[in-house]
Structure formats: C-alpha cells, structure tokens
A = this chain, B = another copy of it.
C-alpha cells in the first residue's frame, strides 16, 4: 500500500471539530485553514515511520498524533501570515485566514488549533492508558513545536528580518523553524511504532537532514519557482529582505546542499532496522521527491 495525500487527509479529517455551537465561527476558520491543502508532509512522514516499525496498525493511537502535528503546522501558518508578522494575504492559492475571517478570528483560530492539537493527541491516552511510549510521544509533541523548537526558530527569523545572518544563525532558523516538526513526526512515528532508543536517535538525525533539505529547497523555489504552482507569491524573501541559505550562498551551492542532505537522509533510512520494506521504500521516495519538487 502506498499512501497518497488524499489517504493521509482521510485520516486527518476525522479529527477536525464539527462546525456547530456558539464557537462555530472559530471552528470554521480553523477548518478552513486546515483543509486549504498542502502536502501533508509531516503526518505522511509520521505514518510511514510508524508503519516501518509497527507490528499491528493501531489507527486510534497514531491517528490523533498525525492530526495533532498537522494542526500545529496549520496554526503556525495562520499566525505567521498575520499583518504583524509576514502580512501575507494568499497561501496555497487561497486567501489567508485573517484575509478571510478577520484578524481577531485568525488569532483565535491559531490559538484554537494549537490547543486542539493537544486535546486531539490526548485521545491516544484513551486508546492505550498508562503507556509510557504514548507519554513520550506527548513530550515530543509539546517540545518540538515550542520555544526550543519551531517557535525558537521563528523568533530569530522575525528578530533578524532585514539584517544579515551568519551561517550559525541560518542553521538555527532552519533546524528549529522547519526541521523541528519533521523531527517530531519521525520521533513520534518511531515511539508509537515500537522503535528502540538507538532507532529513535537515528530517526532524529534523518529528520534533521530532511528538514534542512526541505527548507533550503523552499528558499530556492522562492527565487526560481512558479507562482502558480506554488500557490503563493515568489520573491517574498527578497521583498522582505530576508537572508537565508539560498540568498546568502547562491543558487548553485543551495542546490548542492539540498542534494547532499537528501543523500545523507536516504543512506540512513536504508540502515534502519525496519520490519516493513514498503514503508521504507515510500519514505525514501518521499525524501527524493523533496529535491525535485516544484511546489
């Protein structure tokens, strides 16, 4: 079985809140942004790593975490697009959350999604009460998107906007702002699938390489990408005077970096002791596709 984006969405959508009650307005805004497309890369990676290790599929265990991580990713986009931050009106070819529902509702929708992510993940406690691996997965879900992960990277990105960045700072931003959620996806997939400590550590290294490749490819596409395929305006880094790997080191070096990181990741994926070869194969294809993607 090979997962399509649609297959992953079919799992995720089951966990969305129903648009009813007095809080309907915020749920509509949350679901609008959640359903606005995207590659579903993080839950896809989580599921593939889970499948690599799991003897028996427990969807009521991995499903809540897949949905939770995608909710966290979505909230971060909603808040990132706000006027006080990137001030973007279009994403994935659609109006951003605040452009459609107003700034007040977009702030609350972001808060709602971040909070609902933990509420959703906590459903896994009901499926497996008293299970330490689930608790560890929760620790990862709480840590990686936070101030020592994604938010930490965003803060430096915001604070240094328009100012030159050195390599250490670019690395810090890419590792935290982007790679942290990929690390989270692989860690949780491994933990819930039953990977041992060494495997989990290796998954962390793999995820870091994948995240770095993904972010630098993003920087490259912002320079040479096709606005229509990307679903958002290009040259936004130039417009916002943002320094990143591609603008600092140039296109050719950036392309080499993406290739190198992906190659390293794939080599390490080959070495993982996995019981499910199909899942390993699709994970490697997925990483490969990140190099050649146009959106």
Interface residues of A (CB under 8 A from B): 17, 21-23, 25-27, 30, 75-76, 79, 82, 84-85, 102-105, 107-108, 110-112, 114-116, 118-119, 121-122, 125, 129-132, 135-136, 138-139, 141-143, 145-148, 151-152, 154-156, 158-159, 169, 172
Establish whether residues A151 and B22, one from each chain, have CB atoms under 8 Å apart when the complex forms.
Answer: no
Query: Which chain B positions have C-beta within 8 A of A146?
Result: 112, 115-116, 119
Q: How far is the CA of A135 from the CA of B148 in the complex (A)?
A: 23
Q: Is the CB of B151 within 8 A of A26?
A: yes
This chain: how many copies in the complex? Answer: 2
A65 to chain B minimum Cβ distance, whole angstroms, is: 13
Q: Which single residue of chain B is at the shortest CB-CB distance from A121?
A: B142
- Report B-chain residues with C-beta under 8 Å of the C-beta of A107: 79, 82, 84-85, 107
Which residues of chain B are near A115, meaning CB under 8 Å? 114, 142, 145-147, 151
> Closest Cβ of chain B: how far from A165's Cβ, in Å?
11
Known interface pairs A17-B147, A104-B84; A155-B114 also in contact (CB < 8 Å) = no
Across the interface, name the chain B residue whose C-beta is closest to A113.
B147
A22 touches B152 (CB 8 A): yes
Say how far A121's CB is from chain B's closest CB, in angstroms: 8
Residues of B within 8 A of A135 (CB): 122, 125, 129-130, 135
Docked Cα-Cα span, A152 to B111, in Å, equals: 11
Q: Are B116 and A147 closer than 8 Å at their CB atoms?
A: yes
Q: Are A108 and B25 in contact (CB under 8 A)?
A: no
Neighbour of A26 across the interface among B30, B79, B147, CB < 8 A: B147
